[in-house]
Structure 1
């Protein structure tokens, strides 16, 4: 029998390795930015076209590479940071430049230009699908410039799995946020399709957060500081009142490397117990510095997941540090411009002792020594004449000479009677056809038996078709707000709202002003309460960023689904009889009443025969 095991060619092995490291354009952005940081760059520029599908370029002013190093950097298993296996547990740098570049070069067109500071000329290398097209000497600034063009050009199946530009750009911006937040001592510039999206100067961590997420973020942050032998914690958490319905602004950095950890996330969430409503998530930007020997960062190809030696200790320290900071925030004095200055102690009285009041008491006075029904004569120690103690009761008798109280006229406060567990049959309306079960399901009678409807999903279907019609016909009505509503969003969130502005206006929103950080709304759809507008827009932005329906659907469909999901009545909400009947009638007037906008069942039926079988 012929041998069936064979070694893979290098270009195929490189493509397989690339599948682990390069999943989408944001993976290339992460690797190239981290390489620039390892090259000790102080200024890094990121240039993106078509969400990274056409071009990802990173330019740095770091120490560059020699012509030999530039050539070797595209070989597999080439690295400048490891000499033996023990070095894997002493890593202070980001990644292995050789492994990343070899994987990227296998699936894209790569052009590298690099020059060391002491050299007069640099090196230019062009590679297409792991094959070197050219290598020559060029004049270039010091540092390195890497351009990655036409990602997955030789693997069309992988390219077809990429999402729309909106979603891929969201992932690129996420990676840019993660790297730039971990290194506020480096200047970052981000260009998207020729326009400057971010320009981050060298700053401290707080200012870097504000530059990324908007000036309004500054007042939301609470500092966290803790220094122990095991762990050093620094950073910020968001105030509870600024929590969001989505997990957007949550960042952990271990030794200046972004990581994901559900275990540590639970530690922060537990510190907010009692401060947040269910379903709301706090923001945090936390740096953890630990001994590199106590962690293993090589359990995941992208190094976003790491393993700690003693997770329980880290959990306890992190939870107590965040809880301590929140406690300090609650008791810390604040500058309140609305307080009443008249209640403050004048400066002249700050050091003055308080005077103890003097009370004069006649210890010989006894009111029982006075005769009954006679007025007490004024004495020397009382300035005004007063009646004897019995005179306090004058006028309390009822009219006439009757002194006995008639208790038949006394009214007692009635006790509150709780309703019976079982409803009296007489109280049931004989004409009622719908009943609400556990404030979640609506039960209705039909000819063949009964119908059980999920009120939340049913209302989603009704609202979805209403919004879809309004967006298509472009004739929705809105209610004018007495005072315009001003909401604050980050730069990229504002860009999404600008894209959706026209469609949102068709649903009934009226935008009076739209700046780089604020949205002013003067009118909202009739069905939307003013207090829900901020939550609805946040959920809508999250849905668009993650593209809950895929790119095969239109933005109109996505907008209708997101608004319907946010505004539908929730499970647990009690409905009146008229509301129950209205919901049933509206559902069966829809074009597709059987499923919700997310293609989940809205109702089930049970025939009388099926019920009979239950009692056999």
Structure 2
């Protein structure tokens, strides 16, 4: 044992003389083990220790595996890197009980299977230069080691040239079983009981519906990036996704829905520095929230507010300022021009020159939109079976051509100046064409004969009647006998009070009124449901359908009557009385988008977020004209609220101007 230097010094508390030793590192560990054999009490001056491997792995796993969706992402990326053409994902209990990924890739040898569980063990990095030429998904060697540190892992893998595969069982970073097994070529990794050895972290997981949404998001991002591969997702024995290999457009339609079939504009620009390709949605697909927006750099999903702004600027003037376009764009450029190793999830990257990428993306989208035509086009490439039909394969004979050219329809559109010609038959004569030019009844006569039309409540409109929920008898601000209201710029309401006047923002004020009404409903006061004579069918994507299933109990309390109809389809039987007839479908779709992208510094419950989203959605918007009675009802309803001066988010609903303030503004001497 190396010799240690001794130092005699008194104890800081009791004054006893103690001996301290300055020991080399190797001797330090030996002393920790055999300290109780030493007859003299001692204190080691070195206090920094190396963590055990299992604890270090659990700490590292907290950065990589934050929730079941994080493990899904890592396992799917490893399957892609293995060269698989078919990848199957199975989850139980939203990934808390089981996450299993089966692929038909190249598999691993027995030694590689053991090495894959070690930290920072990778087949893609040999020197520092390789770190800046990454073209694969996983490369840091942290995924399996982190997963094995916080779950029970079983691996079955086999290479095509091997007769037997390898089975490994790992628990808490320790291999508890290893033996040969019979399995198909490829790899199957089962991850059971996530965070079983870290109960505190397991308690922080969300509900099954919330965690399942994260799993679906990660699955979609990987499946969208590789449309040439087969992907499937099965949850609790029920298949959620079955995505056959195909083109980029086919994969987008498979995931986002058939409603995008005729609403996609192709983007394709090839340059020496980078390539941009993919699809953007037509302007009518723009939404009020950031919905279907996907950016991929070298087939890796990324989040970039900078590039989102580039696409948004290309749509400037084509969509509303508060709307966001839909797009799925792929950027291919030299890996040396980017740094993807800046975040544990690798969803945030750095570009060597962001301005060039911004300009190229913006120009590519603008060029695609410039070529966009309103006329619909038939894209038969979506279904290869069409190419095999008889109508496509059979030739156009000369006899058929003669029959076609001799028809009146062909002559009408082929002869010069005859496109407007109409055959003079009894059925086609417009005998009463002069009636179109007879003077109609005056507008005043029509208005007098027309019965008064009630205004629907909600969706930006107010109803004034004896039972209107807006009509109240109390107001915190003392008003005159009848509030004198005036609308300014179709946005603000000026209401006179005894001490001056108030300037009310009509949208924010209505949001406060609706928030308190729906909040009361969510805590026991059932909202009246307006049932539809003709129920509306709503078809959603799988991710949105899972979210709506989770929200159904809360929506029922607020006044929505929605029933599942199978295959991600729902039937809207009724809506709250505030929602105008004919707007049921749009109301639910917008509500789902707002709920998904709800942002706040404070964490709210699911029901609270839902109430805030509905209040914001159903509030009348700026720019809408209101009658005097509607303005008076809104002001009365506002001051009947418990907190009339601010919205749920803290924005002021009105500003009060006293008579004294106005006198002071005009420098009037009292």
Q: Scaled by the length of structure 1, what TM-score is found?
A: 0.76
1:92 alignment partner, SS class: coil
> Superposition pairs for residues 486-565 of structure 1, below 5 Å?
487-501=538-552, 504=555, 507=558, 509=560, 514=565, 516=567, 519=570, 521=572, 523-530=574-581, 532-545=583-596, 557-565=608-616
Show the counterpart of 2:189. 146
1:414-429 → structure 2 map (5 Å cutoff): none
* Residue 244 of structure 2 corresponds to residue 201 of structure 1: yes
Post-superposition shift, 1:351?
7.4
Task: Identify the residue that residue 310 of structure 2 maps to in structure 1.
Answer: 267
Separation in structure 2 between the aligned mates of residue 433 and residue 352 of structure 1, nearest angstrom: 68
2:78 alignment counterpart: 35
Is this contact kept in 2: 1:182–1:257, CA < 8 A? Answer: yes
The 1:550–1:122 alpha-carbon spacing in structure 2 relative to 1, beyond 3 Å, is farther
Specify the alignment match of 1:478 in structure 2: 530
Q: Which moved more, 1:235-244 or 1:285-294?
A: 285-294
Q: Which has the larger radius of gyration?
A: 1
RMSD: 3.7
Match of 2:351 in 1: 308
> Does the 8 Å contact 1:166/1:545 carry over to 2?
no
Q: Secondary structure at the match of 1:93?
A: coil
**CA deviation vs aligned residue, 1:327-364 (integer Å, no higher than 9, x gap):** 222266747xxxxxxxx996458776779xxxxxxxxx
Aligned to 2:617: 566
- 1:209–1:431 distance in 2 versus 1, CA, 3 Å: closer
Alignment deviations for residues 233-288 of structure 1 (CA, whole Å, 9 cap, x no partner) = 22111111111222121111122111222222222112111111121111111122
From 267, 271, 275, the counterpart of 1:228 = 271
Question: Which stretch shifts more, 484-493 or 162-171?
Answer: 484-493
1:243 matches 2:279: no
Deviation at 1:49, TM superposition (A): 1.9
Residue 12 and residue 603 in structure 1: after superposition, are their counterparts in 2 closer, same or farther (change >3 A)? Answer: farther
Segment drifting more, 30-39 vs 443-452 = 443-452
585-594 vs 164-173, greater mean Cα deviation: 585-594
What is the Cα deviation at residue 223 of structure 1? 1.3
- CA deviation map 1:387-442 (0-9, x unaligned): xxxxxxxxxxxxxxxxxxxxxxxxxxxxxxxxxxxxxxxxxx99646666776665
- Contact 1:163 1:550 survives alignment (8 Å): no
Asked whether the 8 Å contact 1:167–1:545 carries over to 2, the reply is no
Q: Residue by residue, what CA displacement relative to the aligned partner does 1:160-215 show, whole Å, maximum 9, x if unpaired?
A: 33322222222111111110011111111101122110011111111111111222
Distance 1:504 1:612 in 2: 50
How far does residue 27 in structure 1 lie from its aligned partner after superposition?
Answer: 1.1
Q: Pick one of 94, 97, 102 that aligns with 2:137.
A: 94
In structure 1, distance between residues paired with 2:270 and 2:173: 47
1:295-374 to 2 correspondence within 5 Å?
295-330=338-373, 334=377, 347-348=410-411
Q: 1:419 — aligned with what?
A: none
Give the deviation of 1:86 after TM superposition: 0.9
CA distance 1:26–1:106, change in 2 (3 Å): same
Give the drift of 1:473.
5.0
Q: CA distance change for structure 1 residues 569 and 354 in 2, over 3 Å: closer, same or farther?
A: closer
CA distance in 1, matches of 2:509, 2:657: 18
C-alpha distance in 1, partners of 2:586/2:526? Answer: 24
**Corresponding residue SS for 2:113:** helix
**Is this contact kept in 1: 2:293–2:326, CA < 8 A?**
yes
SS at match of 2:231: strand
Give the conservation status (yes or no) of the 8 Å contact 1:21–1:100.
yes
Equivalent-residue separation in structure 2 for 1:548 and 1:152 (angstroms): 28
Q: 1:160 aligns with which of 181, 203, 211?
A: 203
Greater alpha carbon shift after TM alignment, 600-609 vs 129-138: 600-609
Distance in 2 separating the partners of 1:513 and 1:175: 25
Task: Return the alpha-carbon distance in structure 2 between the equivalents of residues 521 and 487 of structure 1.
Answer: 7
Query: What CA distance in whole angstroms lies between the structure 1 residues aligned with 2:566 and 2:370?
Result: 35
Q: Indicate if the aligned counterparts of 1:476 and 1:506 stay in contact, CA closer than 8 A.
A: no
- Asked if structure 2 preserves the Cα contact closer than 8 Å seen for 1:214 and 1:517, the reply is no
Matches within 5 A, 1:587-598: 587-591=638-642, 593=644, 596-598=647-649
- Please, which moves more after superposition, 316-325 or 4-13? 4-13
TM-score, normalised by the number of residues in structure 2:
0.71
Q: CA deviation at 1:82?
A: 0.9
The correspondence for 1:292, drawn from 332, 335, 345, is: 335
1:298 Cα deviation (Å)? 1.4
Residue 523 of structure 1: how far off its partner (Å)? 4.9
Unaligned runs of 5+ in 1: 336-343, 356-428
Partner of residue 61 from structure 1, selected from 74, 96, 104: 104
Equivalence for 1:77: 120
Residue 332 and residue 9 in structure 1: after superposition, are their counterparts in 2 closer, same or farther (change >3 A)?
Answer: same
Q: C-alpha displacement at 1:524, in angstroms? A: 4.2
SS in structure 1 at match of 2:102: strand
Give distance in 2, aligned partners of 1:316 and 1:592: 47
Q: Does 1:114 align with 2:157?
A: yes
Give yes or no for contact 1:213–1:490 (8 Å, CA) kept in 2: yes
- Aligned mates of 2:226, 2:618 — CA distance in 1: 40
Instruction: Output one character per residue of 1:447-466: Cα deviation in whole Å (capped at 9) or x when no partner.
Output: 78876655434322322343
The secondary structure found in structure 2 opposite 1:329 is coil
What displacement does 1:591 show?
A: 4.9
Residue 9 of structure 1, aligned match among 41, 44, 52? 52
1:169-188 equivalent positions in 2, closer than 5 A: 169-188=212-231
CA contact (8 A) 2:561 2:573 kept: yes
**1: CA distance between counterparts of 2:259 and 2:483?**
53
Of residues 80, 84, 93, the one that matches 1:50 is 93
Distance 1:434 1:503 in 2: 37
> Secondary structure, in 3 states, of the residue corresponding to 2:227?
coil
**8 Å CA contact retained: 2:209, 2:546:** no
Corresponding position of 1:460: 511
Superimposed CA distance per residue, residues 113-137 of structure 1 (whole angstroms, 9 cap, x where no aligned partner): 2222222222222222223322233
User: Is the CA contact 1:73–1:97 (under 8 Å) kept in the aligned structure 2?
Assistant: no
Q: CA deviation at 1:478?
A: 1.6
Query: 2 CA distance for matches of 1:485 and 1:594?
Result: 38
Q: Counterparts of 1:50 and 1:513 in 2: how far apart (Å)?
A: 21
